[in-house]
Amino acid sequence: MTFTTIEAVDAFRGVLTHEGGLRESVESLKSGYGKEEGLTEAAMLLMRAPSEIQEKAGPTKYPVIHLYCDRIESRPTEKLRRFSGKVRLVAEVRVSQDRLEGITESLLLYVDSVRDVVERNSGCMRDGLYLSSEYEVQIEPVRKGGLNFLQSAKVACVVIVNRT
């Protein structure tokens, strides 16, 4: 049986939302960022869309994490497998606020929380889907977004797929 791309994204979403996932990571890391007050829980969307289009489509509640697959590599290194390769999944974190002060700290808190979840949960996610501990982070500069300031970062991680 081969895999579907949505299956890999759903498995990654499950890792981020299960007990011991993103919510717990944010709670444990927020004191290191000087964020003692309650934080808004990030919504997770299966979408790859620029923020300009998303904001034009309707009101957006920040912070938001977009989950999507941006690359599939077939590497037929394992014989007799229908698919053997790598899938690159991205968790794009976006934060927005009306003041510049603290926007980068808020973004980095959520980025570090996603990284923490990936580091702690590397291994088998589902049958034939293995979350690697390797990841890449790209942090974008602050820019004008809608009525406020917006900053985003991408956490790209690798899922190894082996299916017969």
Instruction: Let me know: does 160 contact 130? Beta carbons within 8 Å.
Output: yes
Which CATH number fits the domain that encloses residue 30?
3.30.70
Q: Distances from the Cα of 6 to the Cαs of 9, 39, 79, in angstroms?
A: 5, 29, 24
Q: How do residues 91-104 score in pLDDT, each as one tens digit? A: 999 999 899 998 99
| Centroid of chain to Cα 10 | 12
Q: How do residues 106-123 score in pLDDT, each as one tens digit? A: 999 999 999 999 999 999
Does the model's pTM come out above 0.85? Answer: yes
Range of the domain at 70: 5-163
Q: With cut-offs at 50, 70 and 90, classify the pLDDT of residue 36.
A: low
Q: With cut-offs at 50, 70 and 90, classify the pLDDT of residue 65.
A: very high
Separation between Cα atoms, residue 46 and residue 33, nearest integer Å: 28
Cis geometry, peptide bond prior to residue 59 (ω within 30 degrees of 0): no
Pairing status of strand 64-74 against strand 43-46: parallel
> Domains in the chain: how many in total?
1
- What is the amino acid identity at position 137? V
Separation between Cα atoms, residue 16 and residue 85, nearest integer Å: 22
